[in-house]
Amino acid sequence: MAEKFSFGKLKDMQYQVAQQAVLEDGITPEEIKYIAGFDVAYQGDKCFCAAVVLDYKTLQVVEKKVVVTKVPMNYVPGFLAFREGPPICQAYYDLEYEPDVILVDGHGIAHPVRSGLAVFVGVELGKPCIGVAKGLLVGEAKDDDIVLEGEIVGKLVKTKVYANPLYVSPGNMISIETAAEIVKHCVVPPHKMPEPLHMAHRFADKSLKEKEEIKE
């Protein structure tokens, strides 16, 4: 990806994707049957993208998949979508259970040009998508809101008493309030991350370690 486009070209693509994002609810929490979390682990020039689909009401795992592919580009702050978006979309298309909502470990509209990983994935797949991050990329926290250039772009969600909050922002087909509500529903103490992302992170790491053990 980085070899084909200049960062100016990538930024132009981000603006185009941002304009396609819908920040209204395409689904209500009551209508959600399946929710999926995606996470990516790295080993050299390979990435292991794990997808875990859970029953939304019970939070029981119904499907797990991992895709191993070449890393599209090095990490550059603000351009995570071009590094993790392609493998996440590839893993999504391998799923047998179609999730109603997608969670990714990254930002949605809480991004310099309102086009974070969750926006890229949500628009590309035409699905409701939520970004869940452990820190701010831009903007500031005011009470429970993430504020960027005077506009509320996300919510702070506290999941552990003595831990920093999560930074939740919508990517596509979801409102800020509903995104926060869905993330809160998916938290299973003592885990800090919502269960779909917690499980995807564990599965990605496990897949990477198994690959390393086979090599040894």
pLDDT tens for the chain, 216 residues: list them: 344 558 889 999 999 999 999 999 999 999 999 999 999 999 999 999 999 999 999 999 999 999 999 998 988 889 999 999 999 999 999 999 999 999 999 999 999 999 999 999 999 999 999 999 999 999 999 999 999 999 999 999 999 888 899 999 999 999 999 999 999 999 999 999 999 999 999 999 998 888 766 554
Distance from C-alpha of 69 to C-alpha of 67, rounded to nearest angstrom: 6
Secondary structure letter of residue 139 according to DSSP = S
Is there a domain that residue 208 lies in? yes
Is there a domain that residue 194 lies in? yes
The residue segments making up the domain with residue 188 are 7-215
Q: What is the pLDDT of residue 162?
A: 85
Is there a domain that residue 116 lies in? yes
Q: What is the pLDDT of residue 210?
A: 84
Distance from C-alpha of 210 to C-alpha of 216, rounded to nearest angstrom: 10
CATH number of the domain residue 202 falls in: 3.30.2170.10
Q: What is the pLDDT of residue 216?
A: 46
Is there a domain that residue 2 lies in? no
Is there a domain that residue 1 lies in? no
Is there a domain that residue 92 lies in? yes
pTM, 2 dp: 0.94
Domain count, the chain: 1
Contact indicator for 179, 130 with CB cutoff of 8 Å: yes
User: Residue 102 has which token pair?
Assistant: 């997608």
Distance from C-alpha of 74 to C-alpha of 179, rounded to nearest angstrom: 29
Contact indicator for 104, 130 with CB cutoff of 8 Å: yes
The rounded radius of gyration (Å) of the Cα atoms in the chain is: 16
Is there a domain that residue 72 lies in? yes
